[in-house]
A and B are shown apart, each in its own frame.
Chain A
Amino acid sequence: MKSFKRLALLFALMLVVGVLAACGGSSDEEDTGSEDEGTEEEGASGEIVVGGSSAMQPLVAAAAETFMEENPDAQIDVQGGGSGTGLSEVAAGNFDIGNADYFAESKEDIDAEELVDHKVAVVGMTAAAHPEVGVEDLSMEDLKAIFMGEITNWSEVGGADQEITLVNRPDGSGTRATFNEFALDGETPAEGITEDSSNRVQQIINETPGAVGYLSFAYFEGNDDTIPLGIDGVEPTSENVETGEFPVWAYQHSYTNGEPEGLTKEFLDYMMSDEVQSSIVPDQGYIASTNMEVERDAEGNESEVE
């Protein structure tokens, strides 16, 4: 009888704790929203949630870490989740900053008017091939033909006699969208193996003879797992992206719902500061947006920076 009573008590306790935790969770979220506004004057304290693009996560996490070291009262929670999640959550007010690899305008279901774009970095991307394909540069036409499935053997473009295997990212991935638009002239690549992260793409290209996919520049640094392919004789380097000679690049966007305030604003200012742009950004394999000599709008039109 006694043991049953204890059991009952335990159950009851568990229920109560569960309910409390559930309530606590939701009220927490509401709190963070109001806190930000209140901390405007005190400066770098409070708590914000940043999330979205997994490609941007290492950069933002590294910046958040140094920012929190300098401002011990500030708490910046950096989450992944994907660009789509980032845009949806910032539009819904759950994230203070939503990161995305692409312009919010490119998603019909996001009210881009309400979101304010902060281009915190630029990322260059190129085709990544297995080290033994025997090709280091492709014309844009050949590249397109390869990804459209029209060329199926590396020997057709002067490489080894090896069948070509395509490695894609999922529909909606920022890397895929950028590569399709600027390397393939907006064409959709043929079906191939699809992997959900650039790390897996890199691994599979490395392990599969004749494989080709696309990766951002950071993945080529310090390893020979995959080789970056030049396009039309232009080497895929940060310098060539900055001058606008290499066409395949994208902004890394940090979106806020309305003009940023309080800690959100301070953190974004910090992201754009020289301290981050000239050290953390290149260290993480990105290109400082302040170094860009060309710029692009949401429609993909390119122009010189004045």
Chain B
Amino acid sequence: MANAQKSETNNHRLLKSNNSSSKKNEGRGKFLVFTSAVIVIIATIAITVFLGYKGIRTFFVYDVSLWNFLTTTGWDGTENSGAFAFIFGSFAVTFLAALFAAPLGIGSAIFMTEIAKKWGQKFLQPVIEILVGIPSVVYGLIGVTVIVPLIRNHVGGLGFSLLAGMIVVGVMILPTITSISADAIKAIPSDIKDASYGLGATRWQTIYKVIIPAALPSLMTAIVLGMARAFGEALAVQMVIGNVKGLPESLLDSAATLTSIITLDMPHTTYGSVHNSLLWSLGLILLIMSYVFIIIIRFVSSRRKI
């Protein structure tokens, strides 16, 4: 087949002979790519519909009041369960982790791209890439064996706390924030920087007044993406947060998140029970929140000027 094609190309003009087979290839390629896209879209829709169906059952089949479910605390796997403590816990961990990771991440991104370009790209970048690749269970283990006792012995409380969750998740999302921020800063045209230097601005003035404002929408995207990851993180959080089903009163109190309750309770429920349905509803909240994060990212990136 290949030989025949070769001799053909030798005898005829290149364009003419290849015409039919390249058209065929075009068609095949288009079909393949199109199929991939359709499968991905179907999967997304299927997950949304399935989770929606399972999550909504709680409110229609078991007559749980949506308002009570979202605003009250007290979780016992019955119709009276309220998920507010977990919603609060998830948001608390997410925002605290972002508060901790965003300055560090953006700071190291600036260092890597503006201050120590060579050194930064050679060493810092691989270090951050390694951080991305570490599985969350490892972060959880380190959290349980190092951070939890550290907090217990030097700060107070049990150690299993919001603070421990915030640190572990913060470190987990740090590389996400750093690498996206670094890309964003690198994408800023050097003309702008040169202009700033040309006007006599120092390096710090340039970073502070030019680079950060110019990259701000992308930096926000980096932070929101990090937060989305923090919100969905289950394993590492579950290992260090203590999974107490009440509202935490301080950073040193144990708490629980939507994800940690799902992984804790799911094996003990029977399919179709109230308890099981309630957990699906928690999953639906997670899905809705991830849509919200995506919408925020879309909105923020649409404001990008450069």
Contact = CB atoms under 8 A, between A and B. Distances in A.
Contacts of A12: 32
Contacts of A107: 270, 273
B76 interface: yes
B70 interface: no
A193 B242 contact: yes
Contact of A171 (B35, B272, B275): B275
B285 interface: no
Contacts of B272: 88, 109
Interface of B: 2, 18, 21-22, 25, 28-29, 32, 35-36, 75-77, 149, 152, 158-160, 238, 242-246, 254, 256, 263-273, 275-276
A87 interface: yes
Contact of B245 (A8, A165, A194, A196): A194
B270 A110 contact: yes
Nearest to A188: B76
Contacts of A174: 268
B9 to A, nearest CB: 11
A194 B264 contact: yes
B270 A8 contact: no
A228 B62 CA distance: 40
A171 to B, nearest CB: 4
In the complex, the 5 A-B pairs of residues with the closest C-beta atoms, listed nearest first: A82-B267, A172-B268, A194-B243, A88-B271, A109-B273
Interface string A22-38: 00000000000000000
B266 A191 contact: no
Contacts of A173: 268
A81 interface: yes
Interface residues of A, number: 38
B76 to A, nearest CB: 6
Interface of A: 1-2, 4-5, 8, 11-12, 15, 54, 80-85, 87-88, 92, 107-110, 165, 170-174, 188, 191-196, 204, 207-208
Nearest to A5: B25
Nearest to A173: B268
Contacts of A196: 238, 263-264, 267
B32 A11 contact: yes
B271 A172 contact: no
Nearest to A85: B267
Contacts of B263: 196
A110 B268 CA distance: 13
A166 to B, nearest CB: 9
A195 B243 contact: yes
Given A11-B32, A171-B76, A171-B77, A193 B267 contact: no
Contacts of A204: 160
B265 A8 contact: no
A109 B270 contact: yes
A113 B32 CA distance: 51
Contacts of A87: 270
A163 to B, nearest CB: 10
A88 B273 CA distance: 10
A43 B276 CA distance: 38
A107 B159 CA distance: 35
A20 B32 CA distance: 18
Nearest to A165: B158
Nearest to A203: B144
Nearest to A172: B268
Most-contacted residue by chain B among A88, A107, A170 (CB, 10 A): A170
